[in-house]
């Protein structure tokens, strides 16, 4: 049986990096992975870790989710060489503190362009092929900040809320119409270079130009959050393993939290943390809650 072709965005570090390697190194050779990144100058570590899988089951390509031509180029190559695209993992994105009104609207728009519109662009690029083949998997990497807004992460939370709403909306249509299954993955804090960069800069320095009240709330609150996060941080490999499990599942859930504690957190907001009931919305006679 031919390996599944997998397109992953944001593979220079972190979750994308770990997922690409785990799938490419699968002992059963079930995957052919196109690991993409915005800047190929960042590929050295991935090439090194890929080892003998490089250009065999792991192919590194340039793809910027904010630029349609780069997306089209990779999708066209995959289809030309393989005839199909089986899996898309929308992982590219970034996180930053905004402290409510301390960043410009333009700054916020740039994050939304990557974290949300980047997902839309790549999804739209693979859908024609997936629809034609009447199968596919799309995994959208969200965050618990997409379930519950996190203080001082307003823009980041908004981008993830947008991704989740988009995913909920398209999931039942794609599943029932084309056998394309969409899943949302909601990690908590993950040990990555991105997280280290955001939380590694002294908070006092980040807040030096804030008004006194905001500076005090910011420094005190973010320090407390960072301390709490340190005790529950996961590895990128743990998230990568979940991605593999979702791809291999015959009936993947719409939502996945990545730890039991995160599921309990989500349960405070969702009565059914998998939110599978949303997949049957098209079959309901009216827009009803699961208890109705």
The residues carrying an active-site annotation are 156
Q: b/e for 252-261, b at 16 or more Cβ within 10 A?
A: bbbbbbbeee
The 8 Å CB, 24+ separation contacts for 156-165 are: 156/95, 156/96, 156/98, 156/111, 156/115, 158/108, 158/112, 159/93, 159/111, 159/112, 159/114, 159/115, 159/116, 160/115, 162/112, 162/115, 162/116, 163/90, 163/115, 163/116, 163/119, 164/140
């Amino acid at each position: 049986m031919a390996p599944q072709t997998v397109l992953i965005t944001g593979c220079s570090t972190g979750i994308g990096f770990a997922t690409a390697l785990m799938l490419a190194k699968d002992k059963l050779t079930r995957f052919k992975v196109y690991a993409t990144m915005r800047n190929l100058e960042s590929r050295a570590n991935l090439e090194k870790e890929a080892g003998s899988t490089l250009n065999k089951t792991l192919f590194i390509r340039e793809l910027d989710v904010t630029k349609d031509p780069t997306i089209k180029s990779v999708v066209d190559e995959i289809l030309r060489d393989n005839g199909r695209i089986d899996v898309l993992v929308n992982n590219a994105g970034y996180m930053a503190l905004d402290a409510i009104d301390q960043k410009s609207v333009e700054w916020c728009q740039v994050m939304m362009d990557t974290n949300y519109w980047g997902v839309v662009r790549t999804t739209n690029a693979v859908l024609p092929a997936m629809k034609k083949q009447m199968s596919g998997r799309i995994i959208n990497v969200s965050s618990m900040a997409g379930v519950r807004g996190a203080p001082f992460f307003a823009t980041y939370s908004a981008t993830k809320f947008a991704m989740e709403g988009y995913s909920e909306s398209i999931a039942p249509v794609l599943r029932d119409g084309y056998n394309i299954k969409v899943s949302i993955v909601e990690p908590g804090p993950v040990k990555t270079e991105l997280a280290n960069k955001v939380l590694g800069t002294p908070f006092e320095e980040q807040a030096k130009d804030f008004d006194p009240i905001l500076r005090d709330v910011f420094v005190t609150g973010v320090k407390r959050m960072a301390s709490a996060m340190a005790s529950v941080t996961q590895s990128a490999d743990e998230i990568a393993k979940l991605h593999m499990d979702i791809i291999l599942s015959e009936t993947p859930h719409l939502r996945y939290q990545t730890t039991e504690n995160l599921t309990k957190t989500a349960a405070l907001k969702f009565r059914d943390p998998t939110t599978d009931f949303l997949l049957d919305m098209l079959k309901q006679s009216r827009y009803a809650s699961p208890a109705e």
